[in-house]
Chains A and B, each alone.
Chain A
Amino acid sequence: GAVVSQHPSRVICKSGTSVKIECRSLDFQATTMFWYRQFPKKSLMLMATSNEGSKATYEQGVEKDKFLINHASLTLSTLTVTSAHPEDSSFYICSARPDGETQYFGPGTRLLVL
């Protein structure tokens, strides 16, 4: 149980285009979903927290117009990187929290912007 999927697993796009990443909780309803960014050999950096039906709460320094988050249902959240640039290339990971404090992570999405 407690499986979280992400799609796509990797994506390559041209600079200036937008990319959407989906995060789904497969066997539970997620009260809260989180989006993280991870640079090579570094820790996870929380970008934003989203609750179903509410606007996402972004961490300081994260551009909300750049990283659009939509938590459309209790099992789906999407992250859209708008007008992507090479510096947005990274490993994006989502997590989902059913209830209580435990977070379950997705497998991550590798984004490469050319």
Chain B
Amino acid sequence: QQQVKQSPQSLIVQKGGISIINCAYENTAFDYFPWYQQFPGKGPALLIAIRPDVSEKKEGRFTISFNKSAKQFSLHIMDSQPGDSATYFCAASSSSGGSNYKLTFGKGTLLTVNP
């Protein structure tokens, strides 16, 4: 069964701190791992994505770490700001089997950054 398990369910961080959200997957056919940020009442916005041939990708304050052997990937938000307060979803998709790159989502993490 295709699953992506995300933790923690919620996270409270002080301004300037590091936020870390973890995801684990089961399907070894997954070969694309994006992170989405969603504010209340809005659609998800793509933050950053990684493919399994890379162990880390950084874009500004956002970094994805990827461990292929453990089938785990994580999002690190450096210098967290109150404006980062949102729900974060990890996801995974496969390019094989005519899947149309359907995304399998984690359950989400509600991040609150206190000023």
Report if A90 contacts B (CB, 8 A): no
A8 to B17, CA, bound (A): 38
Report if A103 contacts B (CB, 8 A): yes
* Closest B residue, CB atoms, query A51: B100
The answer to whether A49 touches B100 (Cβ under 8 A) is yes
Are A106 and B106 CB-contacts (below 8 A) given A51-B100, A101-B93, A101-B95? no
| B: interface residue count bin | 20 to 34
Report if A24 contacts B (CB, 8 A): no
The answer to whether B93 touches A106 (Cβ under 8 A) is no
Residues of A near B42 (CB, < 8 A) are 107-108
* Closest B residue, CB atoms, query A2: B46
The answer to whether A105 touches B36 (Cβ under 8 A) is yes
The answer to whether B46 touches A93 (Cβ under 8 A) is no
Report if B58 contacts A (CB, 8 A): no
The answer to whether A101 touches B101 (Cβ under 8 A) is yes
A-B contact count (CB 8 A): 56
How many interface residues does A have (CB within 8 Å)?
A: 26
Out of A49, A102, A107, which one reaches B46, CB within 8 Å? A102
CB interface residues, A 75-114, toward B, < 8 Å? 91, 93, 95, 97, 100-108, 110
A46 to B44, CA, bound (A): 14
Report if A44 contacts B (CB, 8 A): yes
Residues of A near B18 (CB, < 8 A) are none
Residues of B near A25 (CB, < 8 A) are none
Are A106 and B43 CB-contacts (below 8 A) given A49-B100, A97-B100? yes
The answer to whether B105 touches A43 (Cβ under 8 A) is yes
The answer to whether A102 touches B43 (Cβ under 8 A) is no
A32 to B43, CA, bound (A): 18
Which 7 pairs across A and B sit closest by C-beta, in order of nearness?
A105-B43, A101-B32, A101-B101, A108-B43, A107-B43, A105-B44, A43-B105
Residues of B within 8 A of A (CB): 32, 34, 36, 41-46, 49, 89, 93, 95, 100-103, 105-108, 110
